[in-house]
């Protein structure tokens, strides 16, 4: 079994422990927030962490009503602009905590008066020194180059932060059970992946809370399977990129029960008329029936809690597809675990 598959399997245990190991940090954060009027949240990240931040943007805006921006690190690192962030909460998201550009932006934000937080898996990393408060994933070493347990760990931290910022209570602690159930699909997904062993190109779509997952699965397919995976909002996809689709072109769609369902059903009808090969990750029977193939999850998962359970089958799909193609998912060519950019 690859290291990537082993680390995917560790995710429920990691998720289960995150709230407890960060209890003190959460208490300190609430004290920080007492005397601050936060009217903007800025998220700073790269790679898989950036995809987790894209999820975080939707979650925080939906649950707190505070506007959230994804930072462009180059504005600070290359163009040397000092952003005015006095009333902002700035969160740096980095599994290693060693990304030079993320740490530089976080340090600059702190000097401008922002309250700064760090999400990382390494308690001894540079980002912990830079941030006002740090939240740790405690996932243990992640050896495979492809991030899996650190990605979902970062997502879980966003749920904790949403609650600290005054979001209405939601049962995010159920996510661990849903993650266990998703892992039980591994054998089914292994067989499914073999059908795609010759896939060289595809499109991955998602919207709202699962938009970041579309980017994350696309990244996993590119780095572990060498598949050219274009990633779009399922809404934006119909404004031009739909022209890509021809007979048997693979389209992978995240489509949970919830507000995105009507648009997804309409899109699936269009894709069917174009004879596309549609694979959906869903917990909706109607969506599954409208697609060529489906990975079916528990229909009891509320839409707000779908992103973590929905990414696990996608991680399994990429890992099994890499194996079916005779590739090493743990050591993709030309890339490293920690990438330094400015």
Terminal-to-terminal C-alpha distance of the chain: 36
pTM of the model: 0.95
Q: Tell me how far CA of residue 131 lies from CA of 89, 104, 107, 117, in angstroms.
A: 11, 11, 7, 5
Domains assigned to the chain? 3-170 (3.40.50.10490), 176-324 (3.40.50.10490)
Per the CB < 8 A criterion, the answer to whether 191 and 218 are in contact is no
pLDDT at 274: 96
Question: Is residue 99 classed as helix, strand or coil in its secondary structure?
Answer: coil
Average pLDDT, rounded, for the chain: 94
Model pLDDT, residue 323: 97
3-state secondary structure 60-76: HHHHHCCCEEECCHHHH
Confidence grade of residue 341 (pLDDT, cut at 50, 70, 90): low
Going from the C-alpha of 194 to that of each of 13, 288, 320, 321, 341, the distances in angstroms are 29, 20, 8, 7, 36
Looking at the predicted structure, is the pLDDT value of residue 157 above 80? Answer: yes
Reported as a single tens digit per residue, the pLDDT across 117-149 is 999 999 999 999 999 999 999 999 999 989 999
Please report which confidence band the pLDDT of residue 168 belongs to, taking 50, 70 and 90 as the band edges.
confident
Asked whether the CA dihedral 183, 311, 209, 269 is positive or negative, the reply is negative
- Cα separations (Å) of 59 from 64, 218, 237? 8, 21, 22
pLDDT(337) > 60 = no
pLDDT tier, 280 (very low <50, low <70, confident <90, very high otherwise): very high
Q: Over 60: is that where the pLDDT of 338 sits? A: no
Residue pair 21/150 in contact (Cβ under 8 Å)? The answer is no
Each residue's pLDDT tens digit, 21-41: 999 999 999 998 988 889 999
């Amino acid at each position: 079994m690859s290291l990537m598959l082993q680390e995917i399997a560790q995710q429920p245990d990691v998720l289960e422990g995150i709230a407890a190991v960060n209890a003190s940090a959460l208490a300190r954060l609430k004290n920080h927030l007492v005397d601050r009027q936060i009217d903007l949240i800025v998220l700073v990240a790269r790679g898989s962490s950036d995809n987790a931040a894209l999820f975080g943007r939707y979650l925080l805006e939906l649950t707190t009503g505070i506007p959230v921006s994804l930072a462009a690190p180059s504005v600070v690192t290359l163009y040397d602009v000092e952003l005015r962030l006095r009333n902002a909460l700035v969160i740096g998201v980095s599994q290693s905590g060693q990304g030079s550009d993320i740490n530089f932006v976080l340090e600059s934000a702190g000097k401008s008066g922002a309250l700064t937080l760090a999400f990382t898996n390494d308690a001894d990393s540079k980002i912990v020194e830079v941030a006002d408060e740090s939240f740790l994933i405690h996932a243990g070493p992640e050896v495979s180059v492809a991030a899996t347990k650190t990605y979902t760990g970062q997502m879980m931290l966003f749920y904790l932060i949403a609650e600290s910022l005054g979001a209405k209570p939601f049962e995010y602690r159920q996510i661990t059970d849903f993650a266990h159930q998703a892992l039980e699909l591994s054998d089914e997904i292994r067989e499914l992946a073999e059908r795609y062993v010759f896939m060289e190109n595809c499109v991955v779509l998602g919207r709202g809370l699962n938009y970041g997952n579309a980017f994350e699965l696309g990244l996993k397919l590119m780095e572990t399977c060498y598949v050219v995976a274009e990633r779009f909002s399922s809404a934006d996809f119909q404004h031009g990129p739909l022209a890509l689709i021809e007979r048997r072109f693979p389209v992978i769609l995240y489509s949970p029960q919830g507000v995105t369902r009507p648009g997804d059903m309409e899109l699936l009808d269009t894709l069917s008329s174009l004879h596309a090969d549609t694979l959906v990750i869903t917990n909706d029977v109607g969506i599954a029936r409208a697609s060529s193939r489906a990975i079916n999850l528990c229909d009891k998962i509320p839409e707000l809690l779908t992103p973590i359970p929905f990414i696990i089958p996608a991680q399994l799909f990429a890992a099994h597809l890499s194996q079916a193609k005779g590739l090493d998912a743990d050591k993709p060519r030309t890339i490293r675990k920690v990438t330094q950019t400015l």
